[in-house]
Chain A
Amino acid sequence: MPTLDELAEQTLHRIHSAPDAETLEAVRVEVLGRKGSLAQLSKTMAQLSAEERASVGRTLNAAKQALESALDARKVQFESEQMALQLEAEWVDLTLPAPGPRPGRLHPITQIQEEIEQLFLSMGFTVLDGPEVETEFNNFDALNIPPDHPARDMQDTFWLGPGQLLRTHTSPVQIRGMKKLGPPLRMIAPGRVFRNEEVDASHEHTFYQLEGMMIDRDVSIANLIYFMKTLLSAVFQREVTVRLRPGYFPFVEPGFELDIQCLICGGPGCPVCKQSGWVELLPCGLVHPNVLKMAGIDPEVWNGFAFGLGLTRLVMMRYGIDDIRWLQSGDLRFVKQF
């Protein structure tokens, strides 16, 4: 039987020279196993005196620990070599395209509409919907445009039959909103509207508007200007300068055309603003008392403002789209850009 020193030395040598994990394991079983050489050696301790036994025991333990840690170290080495081989074999070319469809794009009008809805929700407005086929009453009469009023010419109308039409603006939702919710009221109504117009690069028979209305006590022109300025600064993500000038819409009094200072040239004049420095953006005004009365609201107690934002126009301005017909072309080469 070899001495402890000889056994330890031989074993260390075998651990270091083991070619693979299996050989290493065999060495561990042979030397450190329950029936291994080290166990055999320790059995001889039974013949020793207690004093000697203690001393030999310590030596034996120390040798055992040394061998175990050498074994562990060698084992970790094998494992990491193994891992390295596996990793090397698992090379992947990540520059290859990912499979499956890319997320689709939302239509630019959807995008701008949701953005503006969020903006108004944050200012305490509710979002309302109305039908695309409306009654003549809601589209005209209730908005202070009686039959044979020349203002009906301002909006060429698609008629379905007596008293039924495709709404020419989102304003009938004002009437629906006031009747449904009553004052005080803050609402917007985005949606599809129709005008019987020949289609060309800048005219469409189908387009999108966003109606807005606020009814409260003592709403002033100064309030309207504040609101429009806040809204438009948020829409254009920069401070905008607005101006009001007279505009005629039978459902408001006074009525305004709101212009913003041209965002392209900033005022001095350029082709976009036709050298005027201003771009006409939206009609607005204080709600006409007749409209309030039609919706059952007392104009001596309540008043408010209303405005109509052209979503289609806004999208065209924001993205520099030069032909309105793209918006309803269904052409994915267009939609995918947004």
Chain B
Amino acid sequence: MHFSYNWICELVDGLKSDPAELSRLITMKTAESEGTHSVGEHFRQVRAARVLTVEPIEGSKNRKAIVDAGDLGSKTVVCGAPNCRAGMVTAYVPSGAVLDGREIRKVRISGIESEGMLASGAELGLNRDQAGILELELEPAADLGCAPDTIIEIDNKSLTHRPDLWGHHGMAREVAAIAGRRLLDPVKLSCLPDGEAGIGISVEDANLCQRYSALVFENVSVKPSPLWLQYRLQAIGLNPINNIVDVTNYVMAELSQPMHAFDADKLRGSTIFVRNARGGERLHALNDESYQLNPSNLVIADASGPIALAGVIGGMDSAISPATTRFVLESACFHAGSVRKTSSSLRLRTDASMRFEKSQDANNTVRGLARAVELLREVSPGIRIAGGLADQKQELAGVPRIHLPLDWLNRKLGRRVDAPQVRSILESLEFGVEETEARAFLVSVPSWRSTKDISIKEDLVEEVGRMIGYDSIAPVPPALPASVPPPNPERAFHHELRQLVAAQGFDEVYNYSFLSEDVVRQFSLAVEEHAAVANPIAADQSLLRMSLVPGIWKNIVENSKYSDSFRLFEIGREIHKQPGGLPNEITHVAAAVYSRGSSSADHLFELKALALSLDGRLAVTGTEARPYEHPKRTAALRLQGREVGRLFELHPSLLKHGRAAILDLDVDTLYSLRAETRRYRPIRRFPASGFDLSVVAGAREPAGVVQNHLQELAGPELETVEFVREFTLPDGRRSLSYKVTVAAPDRTLSSEEVGRMRSEMIEGLRAKGYELRV
């Protein structure tokens, strides 16, 4: 929302602060100002000037004009505007003036020296008319009646809760309270006519339209607004259209009351209906779009159908046109939620809908009309009001009252504010204050604050707090009991994991939670099993990841462009759709080793070591490879019988150059199965004994299987089975050597006992079909 400094000054008696100071004060006490910019500086130099002569310039579509610029004398300018003609009065910009950041200089154009320029409304920042130079009804040398101004830009987000601040009068009230000045009211309710309503109003559901007020005007002349009015609207970003529409926008920008004017001669019947749209109804709107309506849309209708979307936009068929002589002026209060729903479902946000969705004050409708009457008399001389005020309203809510205990207020603020100061702050914002008991006020909330913003005493803490200035509150340490916070061991586990993985050479990356369908298919994952975003930012970011691996793969591809070998990892959540309820979010760690040259299995063993450093009990077991895994270089990682991860080389077809191994572990399961607190076992007092066994296994029989057999066959005295070495026999089979260590807790085992254990193991292995190399 853009605010005109001059406009605010007109509404605050004797305001002294300059625009920059005002911008700062509004930021500190009311709403965030994003800055200021000045407009119309050039109006210090621009004059009305009469065009004396116009002659063509050979070889150019420009013409040479001599103008009478009053006190500046006569000037020669080159002008390209088609409407430039002798006798007209237009706007002359002398050289040296700055228009839109560009200095106007004496220059030769088409061989003629031009001393300044004749300007269009758009060039002067009065409107958006670029078709020709301004046509004025002024005497030469007259001032255009537009003064330089400063625009204060307020962040709309910080006005979300303040329907009253969507107009200059509301902001002026804040400024008056901040500056300790008197607020001036531009509204004269006496402008409203008495008598029987000029038009019938029928409101179907009073909840959706709390109040509908209207006046009918006749003897209207539709034409451009006076310059001051166009300038004021243009300066705050509203588009001047014609005098009637401009008045509705001016009142909206001043009083925060959206209005709409319907050409009365285009309406069928003599009643305005406020009702829900009926199925199949359409509206050709002022933006030249045609909207298909449904019963959730509140419309304004005449006897034949919708003429406007209530609180959002008017219809083209009843728009004010140069031919209009009578019109109906609507000033209503529509239900915030209904307007918002319609505006967002049609993707149509307008100046009106933005205001209505903040919950407007129903008391404001007639104030808007009264202000409009006064302005219309100025911009359309001879205009008459036909009939009296039409005003259909629901019982208006009474003034809410809030009990405000002053000691409680001081405790919330954390500083003392005296009762008279609290009273004066609230009264400056037009709250009613009564002292009904000692150290407590009964505070009545003004109607423009009570629609949504203020209903409880906490809301008043803010009113007092912001006006005394939060910088007047000194920091105070809270009085709190010392206590140990409840632990979050799971998060501590994640942190430990991160540290361990990073310490082993892996750099941490963060990837998005979104995947494209293409990537999911590339990894042969099922698209339909993924949770999907209904309104993705781009079509290729619609699915929520069920695996970190595609993201890691992309990291590998990207980084391999800059680096021949690297290690990286991510800890993040997989999101698994569940029938009913929220998806299951499972934290995973995925780590990768990449190098360009080698196809050796070293990467896999490095990741195996990493996995074991995270939990030494992890068992590596054979498994069916998934499509993105190397079919002969993939293993499942199991803990207490549950699969908790995968260790694999990325399928070589997924990389142009080089190989990558990936470890993918379910951190949540790893956490839930983490080792319990360790207990001390006495150190063995008697020496252990050991012997070696060399087992001949099939060419591709996993050593892990052989080792499991050894462990099962050994008796209770087994301490450890350690792999020593392997080599391949001429026939392709593998000889696997192990060192078996045995011991008893209470004695040294005799060599006979050890020999017997060894023989039993050998026999057991033979029984399972293994050959031994003894």
On A, residues with C-beta under 8 Å from B are 100-107, 109-110, 114, 117, 121, 124-129, 131-135, 147-148, 150-151, 153-154, 158-161, 164, 166, 181, 184, 186, 192, 194, 196-199, 205-206, 214, 216, 218-223, 225-227, 229, 243-248, 250, 253-257, 274, 286, 288-289, 303, 327-333, 335-336
Contacts and interface: CB of A to CB of B under 8 A. Distances in A.
B161 interface: yes
A104 B501 contact: yes
Contact of B509 (A129, A158, A289, A330): A330
Contacts of A227: 478
A256 B456 CA distance: 18
B473 A225 contact: yes
A101 B558 contact: no
Query: Among B466, B475, B544, which residue has the most Cβ atoms of chain A within 10 A?
Result: B475
A282 to B, nearest CB: 14
| Residue among B358, B458, B535, B566 having the largest count of chain A Cβ atoms under 10 Å | B458
A335 B488 contact: no
25 contacts: A104-B502, A104-B569, A106-B499, A107-B508, A126-B488, A127-B491, A128-B488, A132-B585, A148-B341, A150-B160, A150-B340, A150-B357, A151-B161, A160-B544, A197-B537, A221-B413, A222-B415, A223-B477, A248-B159, A248-B160, A250-B161, A254-B461, A330-B511, A331-B559, A335-B508
Given A206-B512, A220-B411, A220-B414, A148 B462 contact: no
Contacts of B551: 330
B484 interface: yes
Given A134-B582, A158-B535, A331-B559, A246 B507 contact: no
Nearest to B470: A244
B767 interface: no
B29 interface: yes
B575 to A, nearest CB: 6
Interface in B26-50: 27-32, 35
Q: Interface centre among B337, B358, B485, by most A CB within 10 Å? A: B485
B459 interface: yes
Interface residues of B, number: 90
Given A114-B495, A148-B341, A159-B533, A103 B490 contact: no
Contacts of A221: 412-414, 461, 465, 470, 473
B157 to A, nearest CB: 5
B490 A160 contact: no
A164 B582 CA distance: 7
A332 B534 contact: no
A63 to B, nearest CB: 48
A134 B531 CA distance: 13
Contacts, number: 240
A110 B496 CA distance: 12
Given A103-B502, A222-B413, A254 B465 contact: yes
A220 B413 contact: yes
B369 to A, nearest CB: 26
Contacts of B471: 243-244
Interface string B159-177: 1111000000000000000
B428 to A, nearest CB: 16
Contact of B476 (A117, A196, A220): A220
B397 interface: no
A256 B510 CA distance: 31
A253 B412 CA distance: 11
Contacts of A288: 458
A114 B509 CA distance: 16
A186 B27 CA distance: 30
Given A125-B485, A196-B535, A226-B478, A333 B562 contact: yes
B608 interface: no
Given A101-B505, A253-B459, 4 more contacts: A104-B502, A124-B484, A158-B533, A253-B461
Given A101-B505, A219-B478, A221-B412, A181 B531 contact: no
A129 B508 contact: no
B534 A161 contact: yes
Which A-B residue pairs are the 8 nearest by beta carbons? A222-B414, A101-B505, A220-B414, A254-B462, A226-B475, A148-B337, A244-B470, A126-B485
B599 interface: no
B161 A248 contact: yes
Nearest to A199: B537
B532 interface: yes
Nearest to B408: A218
Contacts of A151: 160-161
A192 to B, nearest CB: 7
A122 B574 CA distance: 31
B536 interface: yes
A206 B511 CA distance: 10
A229 B28 CA distance: 18
A194 B465 CA distance: 33
Contacts of A330: 509-511, 551, 554-555, 558-559, 568
A222 B476 contact: yes
B478 A166 contact: no
B32 A247 contact: yes
A250 B456 CA distance: 13
Nearest to A195: B537
Contacts of B474: 222, 225
B711 to A, nearest CB: 31
B582 A124 contact: no
Contacts of A336: 507
Nearest to B551: A330
A19 B158 CA distance: 97
A164 B531 CA distance: 11
Contact of A101 (B162, B341, B567): B567
Nearest to B555: A330
A223 B544 CA distance: 41
Contacts of B683: none
Interface string B500-538: 011111111111111000000000000000011111110
Given A132-B513, A253-B459, A332-B563, A124 B568 contact: no
Contacts of B535: 158-159, 196
A335 to B, nearest CB: 5
Nearest to A190: B491
B505 A105 contact: no
B517 to A, nearest CB: 16
A303 B461 CA distance: 13
A114 B28 CA distance: 33
A192 B485 CA distance: 23
A223 B536 contact: no
Nearest to A111: B508
Contacts of B511: 328, 330
Contact of A254 (B157, B458, B488, B555): B458
A8 B301 CA distance: 138
A217 B305 CA distance: 59
Contacts of A104: 501-508, 567-569
A88 B513 CA distance: 59
B482 interface: yes
A194 B537 CA distance: 11
Nearest to B591: A104
Contact of A131 (B159, B478, B491, B585): B585
Contacts of A133: 531, 544, 575, 582-583, 585
A192 B511 CA distance: 11
Among B30, B159, B506, residue most surrounded by chain A Cβ atoms (within 10 Å): B506
A154 B159 CA distance: 11
B675 interface: no
A199 B415 CA distance: 44
Nearest to B505: A101
A127 B357 contact: no
B750 interface: no
B774 interface: no
A103 B505 contact: yes
B667 to A, nearest CB: 12
Given A105-B502, A160-B534, A246 B485 contact: no
B441 to A, nearest CB: 18
